[in-house]
Amino acid sequence: MSAENALNELAAALRREGTLLAERVAETDARPAFGLLAAAGPRAEGAEADYAFVIEAIREGYLLHYGEPRVVVGADPDLALLGGDHLYALGLERLASLGDLEAVRELADLISLTAHVHADGDADGSTKRLAGALWLASATAVTAGGGAAHAAAKDVARSGSDAEAASSALAEAAVASAAAGPVAEALGAAAEQIDFALPEPHPGG
């Protein structure tokens, strides 16, 4: 198993379960950009494939709720809702088995915050941008750490007071945590996949 094959591994896991979701599993050539981001940093060292699987399971759950899933296709709204919740649980369970409780809390926060954003969002694009920023920041925090700036940015998102300010703060925190090297490269690839323009790193930061 490798991080690059995270979506294929997810499809195989769902087929093995033999639930109604298994009947909707399809082949995909989508790149697991968020899984590769989670696998790129120090926390995932030695367990890169596991971290990629976790993130992509939760990402697929999110897309079943709010977007266009890559692995589970053609589900009716009720199955998509149940399937999304199942994939959230599958990812968090796998992560808990690795003993990374800090990352479990981070991804539980991500699930909660994106639900809040979509429930309160509007049609001007700010919902999509804020949800994207949350995904980029949380995946980076899982693999490279978040810190005070990341926590503060999540608080702004949680308050619902200013979606654009929250998006910018989350993106800046992600760029700062990624620093340079493999995590920064993977962050850029994940941002490109969702058409999110990242800020330039601060000099010396």
Q: How far apart are CA 65 and CA 135, in angstroms?
A: 15
In the chain, the number of structural domains is 1
- 139 in any annotated domain: yes
Average pLDDT score, the chain: 93
Query: Phi then psi for 72, rounded to 5 degrees?
Result: -100, 110
Asked whether residue 201 is domain-assigned, the answer is: no
More confident residue, 122 or 17: 17
As a whole number, mean pLDDT of residues 125-131 equals 90
Residue 142 placed within a domain:
yes
Domain that holds residue 62: 3-193
- In-domain check, residue 111: yes
pLDDT in tens, 56-96: 999 999 999 999 999 999 999 999 999 999 999 999 999 99
Q: How much is the average pLDDT of 167-182?
A: 93
- Whether residue 198 lies inside any domain: the answer is no
Average pLDDT over residues 129-137: 97
Q: Render pLDDT for 16-56 as a digit per residue (tens, 0 to 9).
A: 998 888 999 998 999 999 999 999 999 999 999 999 999 99
Answer for the pair 137, 187: CB distance below 8 angstroms, yes or no. no
Reply yes or no on whether the pLDDT at 205 is more than 80.
Answer: no
What does the pLDDT read at residue 75?
93
For residue 20, report the phi and psi dihedrals to the nearest 5 degrees.
-60, -30
Residue 200 maps to a domain: no
Query: Which residues, other chains included, contact 84 with Cβ-Cβ below 8 Å and sequence gap of 6+?
Result: 61, 62, 63, 64, 65
Residue 141, domain member (yes or no): yes
Q: What is the pLDDT of residue 111?
A: 98
Would you state the pLDDT for residue 200? 84
According to the model, what pLDDT value does residue 164 have?
A: 92
Q: Check residue 13 and give its pLDDT.
A: 95
Percent residues over pLDDT 90 in the chain: 84
Question: What pLDDT shows up at residue 201?
Answer: 77
Kindly state whether residue 16 falls inside one of the protein's structural domains.
yes
* Residue 143, CA distances (Å) to 70, 108, 114, 191 in order: 23, 15, 19, 16
Whether 202 has a pLDDT exceeding 90, the answer reads: no
